[in-house]
Amino acid sequence: MDKYVIVGTDSMLNDIVDVIHALNGKVCAIYQNMKELPVRKGPTIKERIALLGYPVEVHDDLDSFSIKPGFKYVQGLNSVQKYKMIGELKSAFEIQFTTLIHPDAYLGSNVKIGEGVFINAKATIAPNAHIDDFCSINRSAVVGHDAYVGKFSRLGPSVSLAGSTTIGSHCSICISATVLDYVNIGDWSVIGAGAVVSKDIPEGKVAVGTPARVIRANEARDFSKYLEKRARQVSS
């Protein structure tokens, strides 16, 4: 049985653990990277861990993190802001993050998967697609043939990317959105839930609707503003 260490936690924790279990693995330790946001609905992280039914070593921060032989290390964040934590860890340690692919996902021929990628159950990755480092592909998402998903980007449940689409780095494509053939989404852009994207979206924009239209700039690309927003949420 493979032993896993999860580095970083957010709302994706249950899914990360589920894929580990589906691969006949076991979670041995979890390192939280930031203070948990207040829980308005659903269990806290520690309540989620308690549901596993076996002991897990839990650390509230990364201060005591170290590399130990015999363990697989997976990043546990769904946020595109994961790049900050991963970059710092790679600078401090010789760490290689394991890719997690649910056994019920389908990967076509000549698919390229980068480091630390997470692919959930029922996802479909068509032939010749490229999922770059540290992407998250959620349940039942479809990535069409010859499509590219850039580093640190995430596809929500039931997202559909048609053939030859290009998703930039640090993008969020929200639940049930559709991106049509040959469309390009710029780096740091967000596509709203259920949107249908029929033309290119520039870098750093938020687009919603059917057909999708740009409504504002995406402030999430500024890490300091991201931290300020989190601080407000923690104190609220």
| Same domain? 44 vs 133 | no
Count of domains for the chain = 2
Same-domain status, 87 and 108:
no
Q: Are 56 and 134 found together in one domain? A: no
Q: Is 46 domain-assigned?
A: yes
Length of the chain: 236
Low-confidence ranges of the chain (pLDDT < 50): none
Looking at residue 187, the DSSP 8-state letter turns out to be T
Residues 56-94 as b or e (16 or more Cβ within 10 Å = b):
beeeeebeebeeeeeebbbbbbbbbbbbbbbeebeeeee
- Determine the pLDDT at residue 227: 67
Statement to judge: residues 87 and 105 lie in one domain: no
Note whether residue 229 is domain-resident.
Answer: no
**Residue 227 placed within a domain:** no
Q: Say if residues 22 and 121 touch (Cβ distance below 8 Å).
A: yes
pLDDT of residue 46: 81
Indicate whether 87 and 125 sit together in one domain. Answer: no
Q: What is the pLDDT of residue 98?
A: 98
CA distance 112 to 36: 33
Q: What string of H, E and C letters represents the secondary structure of 81-150?
A: CHHHHHHHHHHHCCCCECCEECCCCEECCCCEECCCCEECCCCEECCCCEECCCCEECCCCEECCCCEEC
pTM reported for the whole predicted model: 0.93
In this structure, is residue 49 part of a structural domain? yes
Judge if 56 and 150 occupy the same domain: no
Identify the pLDDT of residue 40. 65
Q: Are residues 33 and 10 in the same domain?
A: yes
Q: What is the CATH number of the domain that holds 60?
A: 3.40.50
Beta bridge partners of 130: 112, 148
Alpha-carbon distance of 19 to 23, in angstroms, equals: 6
- In the set 21, 59, 102, 145, the catalytic residue is 145
Q: In this structure, are 140 and 173 located in the same domain?
A: yes
Q: Report the CATH number that the domain containing residue 105 is assigned in CATH.
A: 2.160.10.10
pLDDT at 143 (0 to 100): 98
Per-residue model confidence (pLDDT) at position 235: 60
Distance CA 3, CA 64 (A): 18
Tell me whether residue 59 is one of the annotated catalytic residues: no
Q: Which of 58, 92, 126 is the last residue of a domain?
A: 92
In a domain, 134, yes or no: yes
Domain of 81 in residue numbering reads as 3-92
Q: Do 80 and 120 belong together in one domain?
A: no
